[in-house]
Structure 1
């Protein structure tokens, strides 16, 4: 991605701007530290904001020195990409949208341009014009780098949140000593199936579980893909030394499984989670008796 050029920027002007940014770093950093982008992110210490500004100016100086004013992938931006991403992310969390962040980056050009013009006896000279153009192009590239980095940070945040939701949506419950259960709710796709398997295997190890119950009462439909995921999870649990039982197979799902010709014959199944738990307890020699009906008055 490159910044569109209105005029060709001479390489000498780019190098001059790089030297200018290095030479006037302190003055520019002091002005940038009061700009909204840095001031609203570094709220604890102004000195911290100044140092962050200097790091960005170092990057811009390095990019300009190599004449790569329009290159968002220039090596000079590497050291500050993480910082720029965190800054953009901080502004986004504070309610500033992408357009607002872009405007805040664009606002940094003014203070730097004012100092640059002061370097020339005649600010209207051709050299001054070329250097201002070079700085404008460079700041436009910085704006693109910030937005590109912010989008990357946003994608990573979404992925982390998605992973957290998957883990929250697939809890492993310790029902009894040596018995764990995974109540599944919603669609079981490949990504979620992997999380289910990993969480279940971890629980088998940490809980030293001999039995694992996969309850699919909350799974709306079972197709060949879902059945394949279940069978893989059962096989993995067996390799870890745990017997796996599938519960919650409703009549409609049972008919679907038969209609699709899916063979779950090697997997123990039970009608409900309660039935599965009772089955496992009996397997361990623990007597299980039916409780009194709800609302019954004891004699």
Structure 2
């Protein structure tokens, strides 16, 4: 492929990703955008005014952000050791455990959550944000384990074995060897898990009982409105929220990443 062809593919790929966002921005400031018009004929801030004057918006943003952060952290704590164990060790039932990675695709999370609802009530986690955090692990943990399972298989155990032969303990080996190599996987897992948590409407409504307001539970009722500007404004906020979490974790990675001073 020629250099010009590569540039064209890159340009159209970026255009394909950016155009929906541009359309949402334009639609959020439009009063009416009729079929056949290249651009809106009238502009208005009504969509943003309706959204920003919604009294539950800021509560929903805070709840979604903190619940998503908690779900991401728990996913990392569970999936990193689990992925390493599956990649480096053989044990009875390993094949079945690996097949469980695709369960979120095969089994609806809502079906499992219905069974967990009574357990949440007994444990006092129903109608509470902690219960929502727990139930959000159902559709996210298998994907995260699969991500780190593939990463550890790619890295292999030989680097850790060499470090152990030189007297390094497991914690320092993980921090100095695996952590820098897992950074791309951590970025992917953080973004994926937060988006999964943010988009859970049925699970949140079931376990939260309407007492815990998140962006998803606030967003879906807005879909019934005929005001496209309001929906576009809400969609932009929905899209920006995961980026703030990704930037936060990127900052934390840069702070804790070993050898950062040496690379400057």
More helix by share: 2
Question: TM-score, normalized by length of structure 1?
Answer: 0.26
Larger radius of gyration: 1
More strand by share: 1
Question: TM-score, normalized by length of structure 2?
Answer: 0.28
